[in-house]
Amino acid sequence: MKFIIYILVVIFSIMELQSQWVQSLGMPASYRNETYLDIQFLESNPNFGWACGFEGITLRTTDAGKTWLVAHLPFDLQLESIHFVNQKVGFTSGALNSGSNMGMILK
């Protein structure tokens, strides 16, 4: 009987966790269905966050994800990682989408 109760608690806990995820509608509509490969929020100030993905797309929020600003890097990059050390200095890395094995780290 304890095992059944345990399983029910686990199932309801998982259902509760899944119901807390909602799509951010604060970004421009044309970017809502893009694939983003990394996202980071500053631990020191979680209002500031960044996301990156294909075609050099980067997004920035200053209000904890309520709204997002879009920026395109001048390269056709698949950005796979993004890390900011503070509100103004960050790094992103990825590979050129041209089919070459050339990668880049940008500051």
What is the model's pLDDT at position 31? 84
Tell me the C-alpha distance between 91 and 107, whole Å: 5
Residue that is written with structure tokens 């200095």 in the block: 89
Tell me the C-alpha distance between 22 and 5, whole Å: 29
User: Mind listing the pLDDT tens digit of every residue in the chain (107 residues)?
Assistant: 666 666 655 565 665 555 566 777 788 888 888 888 999 999 999 999 999 988 888 999 999 999 999 987 777 788 889 999 999 999 888 887 666 666 767 76
24 neighbors 40 (Cβ within 8 angstroms): no
What is the value of pTM for the model shown? 0.73
